[in-house]
Structure 1
Amino acid sequence: MSNITINQLHMALCEANSILLTVHIRPDGDAIGSMLAFYEALIAQGKTVHMVVDDVIPEKFSFLKYIDYIHDVSYLETNAISVDMLMVLDASTYERIGRVGALCSAPIFNIDHHISNTKFADYLYLKSNFAATGEIITYLCKEWNWPITESMGTALYMAIATDCGFFKFSNTTAHTLEMASYCVAAGARPNVVSETIEAISADRLELTKQVMQTIGFYKHNTVATIELCPAVMAILGDDTDGFVDIIRNVDTVDIAILLKGESPNRTRISLRSKGTDVNAIAQQFGGGGHIRAAGCTIMKNIEEAKSELLEAIG
C-alpha cells in the first residue's frame, strides 16, 4: 500500500484509459453520490468508465442522473472487461466491496475518509478530516478545475449532506460547508435533495411506531438503544436510515446504538455519539468507521449483542 498525494492521484487518473468504479456494499448516500459524480467527471475527461456495485441500489437514489448506469456484480461475470484501474470509493476495507475485488485484476486505488481505513488498496488517497467522500470528490474537481455540472453538484451535495446529518453532526467543518456551497453554486437544490432523501411512507411510519417500543436507556440515560428484529429487517432490508437519530437526539444521550437483527445469530450494529470515540468501541468487535459514527457485526442475537456492547462501553 502507498499513500498518494493529490498530484499523484491526478497523474494516475490521467494515465488510465479505462476505470472501474465501485463502492461498499449496502451503499449509502455518500457512496452513491460520490460514484455517480466521479463517473460523470471521468467521462468528461474522455475515460471509459464502468460502475459496478455488489448490492442492490436503494430506490431513494433513483432521482440522480446516471443511476441506471450502475451494474450489478454479475456484469463482471458475464462481460470480458479489462480496465487500467479499480477505483474504490468510500470503502475502508477490501471485504466491503464484496465480489468486485476478486473479479477485477487491475491495480486498486482507494479514495476514502474513514479513520479506520485498513489500507488495503495499492494506492490510497485518504482524507479522514473530511466529513464525506463526496467532500473529497468535490475538492478534487475544484483543485483540478474539472467542471461540476448540475447533476454532479446534486449527487455530491447529497453525498456530503447525508454523511454529516445534513450539517448537524460534529464532522461538519467550514470546509464541508464550503464544498457543499460549491455544489449548490453548480445547481444542486438542497430542498429537493432533503425532501427526496428524507421522505417516508405511511407504512414506514407505522413500522417506526413499533420499533420505538424497543428503545432502552442505560448508564444513567447516557446510552440508548433501539432494535430492529429479524422480522422488521426482512421488511426494511437495508433501508434503516433515521432510526438511530431517534435516540441520538435525546438530550442526555451520548452514545446511540442501533441493533439490526439480520438473523437469530447475527446482529449488525450502528453506533453514533456526541463525545465518545465509538470507532474504538466498534474495533473491539472487528468493525470501525469514524470517531462519532461507526459500525460492527456481532455473531449473537440482539439481546446478547446488546449486553456485550454495554459491557464494552463500561
Structure 2
Amino acid sequence: MHFSQVSAEFADKFFELVDSVTNIAVTAHVSPDSDSIASVLSVYEILTTKYPEKNIRIIYSAEPQDHLRVFQNHDKIEFVPDIADHLDQTELLLMLDGGQYSRFSIYPEKLHRIPYTICIDHHPSPISDFSLSLVVPSSSSCAQLVYLALCGDLTISPRLAEVFLLGILGDTGNFNYLKPNQTEILTIAKKMIEIANVEIQEFQSRYQSIPKRAFELVKELMKNTVFSTSPKWPDYQYSFIDKEVIDTGEFSDSEISEACGIYLSHFLRTVKGFTWGFVITPRSLGECSISARSLPRSVSVRDLMERTGLGGGHDRAAGGTFKKTDKDVEVSTSITWLIKWLGDHDPVLS
C-alpha cells in the first residue's frame, strides 16, 4: 500500500506491520549522509522505545561514519559490505531515504525475498514495490517525514531532537535549499532546537570538523577541477579523484565521501557562469560514485541520474553509481562516457 502524504492511516499500517513480526532491520541508502543517518537513528529510537522486546537492528551497506559517533544509538549501527548478505532472519526491512531496492544493495533481488518491506522517502524518483510506502517529495528531508509520520504522542528527548536536527540541517543545507512550499520544516526545527537546547553553530561543530586526511582529498579535487562547455547543456564544472591516489594513501570510502561533500558544498555551483556539475570518485568495491549538484533554473541532476540509469535524488542534488561488471570501473572511462552522453541528449532544466 502506498501513501503520498503523512496520515494517521499510514502510521496505523506501519505499526500493524511492526506488531506482526519479531526480527526487524532498519537501513538507508548506500553512501550515508546526515539525513539518512538521522532517519535510521530516529526510527530505531522510536521502535525500541515502543517495542523493547523485539529484535531491532540498524544495518548499512557502508563503512563506519566516525564523525557521527556523537549521536544517540550510532554505536548500534552495523556497517557491512552489503546488507543483502546479513538479513537471513529478517522478517521486516525498513528502508529509509531511498525508493529503489538498488539504492540499498548491489543485490537488490535478494531484498525482494524478505517477507515485508516498508519505505519512507522524500525523493521524487520512481519507487519500487514495497509492502508499505510513504513517499512525499515536497518534504525537505526524510527525518522530517519520520517525525511527522511516526512520533505521534511520543515525548521527544533532547538526544532524539539532536538526531532530527542532524537530518533537517543536512538535507536543507542549513535551510539554503528550502522552497516556498517547505517552510513547515522551520517550525519543526524551532521545536527541536528548543528541546535540545542547542545553538546551531555549536551543535554542528561537534560533527563537522574536517579531518586532515579528508582535506588532502579536497585538495586533489581542487587540482582536478575542469570547467566545461557543451552545445546543449549549461556550462558545467566537474572534478574527480584518480584511483592511484586512493590506493597510495589508503583512503577509505567514508573519507572519500567526506571530501566530496566538502567540495560539493563549498566549491561546486559557486563559480560564476557554471551552474551545475558533478564529482566522480572510485570506491573500494571496484565501482565509481557520482554526485551532482545544480542551481535553480539549471539542470535537473535528478533527471540526469535517472535517464543515465546511474541513480536518482533531487533536482538540485543527486547521485549514483557506475556499476562494476567483469572488471573495476575506471574514473576516466566514467567521465568520458558521461560527457558523450551529454552530447547525445538534451538537458531538463528545473
TM range (shorter): 0.7 to 0.9
Shift of 1:154: 0.8
Number of residue pairs matched by the alignment? 312
5+ long unaligned stretches in structure 1:
none
Shift of 1:136: 0.9
Alpha-carbon distance in structure 1 between the residues aligned to 2:26 and 2:43: 9
The residue aligned with 1:147 is 155
Contact 1:212 1:226 in 2 (8 A): yes
* Aligned counterpart for 1:131 among listed residues 140, 148, 152: 140
Contact 1:53 1:100 in 2 (8 A): no
Whether 1:106 aligns to 2:115 is yes
SS at match of 2:120: strand
Shift of 1:119: 2.7
Alpha-carbon distance in structure 2 between the residues aligned to 1:210 and 1:60: 21
Mark the CA change 1:193 to 1:231 in structure 2 (over 3 Å): closer, same or farther: farther
Whether 1:243 aligns to 2:259 is no
The residue aligned with 1:301 is 330
Shift of 1:35: 0.9
* 1:44-193 paired onto structure 2 within 5 Å: 44-46=49-51, 48=54, 49-72=56-79, 81=89, 83=91, 85-98=92-105, 102=110, 105-141=114-150, 144-170=152-178, 173-187=182-196, 189=198, 190-193=200-203
Q: Match of 2:15, as an amino acid? A: C
Contact 1:37 1:151 in 2 (8 A): no
Whether 1:231 aligns to 2:206 is no
Q: Deviations over 1:128-158 (max 9, x none)?
A: 111210111122256x222221111111111
SS at match of 1:284: helix
Shift of 1:217: 0.6
Q: Match of 1:268, as an amino acid? A: S
The residue aligned with 1:12 is 13
Q: Match of 1:121, as an amino acid? A: F
Shift of 1:22: 1.5
Contact 1:230 1:264 in 2 (8 A): no
Mark the CA change 1:155 to 1:312 in structure 2 (over 3 Å): closer, same or farther: same
Shift of 1:95: 2.0
Alpha-carbon distance in structure 1 between the residues aligned to 2:83 and 2:285: 32
Contact 1:154 1:183 in 2 (8 A): yes
Shift of 1:125: 0.2
SS at match of 2:46: helix
RMSD over aligned CA atoms reads: 3.0
The residue aligned with 1:36 is 41
The percentage of counterpart residues that share the same residue type is 20
SS at match of 1:51: strand
Shift of 1:52: 2.1
Alpha-carbon distance in structure 2 between the residues aligned to 1:106 and 1:171: 38
The residue aligned with 2:326 is none
Contact 2:94 2:118 in 1 (8 A): yes
The two structures have a TM-score, normalised by structure 1, of 0.86
Q: Match of 2:264, as an amino acid? A: V
SS at match of 2:213: helix
Contact 2:2 2:133 in 1 (8 A): yes
Q: Match of 2:125, as an amino acid? A: S
The residue aligned with 1:282 is 305
5+ long unaligned stretches in structure 2:
324-328, 344-350
The two structures have a TM-score, normalised by structure 2, of 0.78
Alpha-carbon distance in structure 2 between the residues aligned to 1:29 and 1:214: 26
Contact 2:124 2:313 in 1 (8 A): yes
Shift of 1:280: 1.2
Contact 2:243 2:331 in 1 (8 A): no
Alpha-carbon distance in structure 1 between the residues aligned to 2:192 and 2:3: 27
Q: Which stretch of structure 1 is more off in the superposition, 270-279 or 213-222?
A: 213-222
Q: Deviations over 1:176-198 (max 9, x none)?
A: 32222222122163224421332
Q: Match of 1:244, as an amino acid? A: L
Alpha-carbon distance in structure 1 between the residues aligned to 2:197 and 2:62: 27
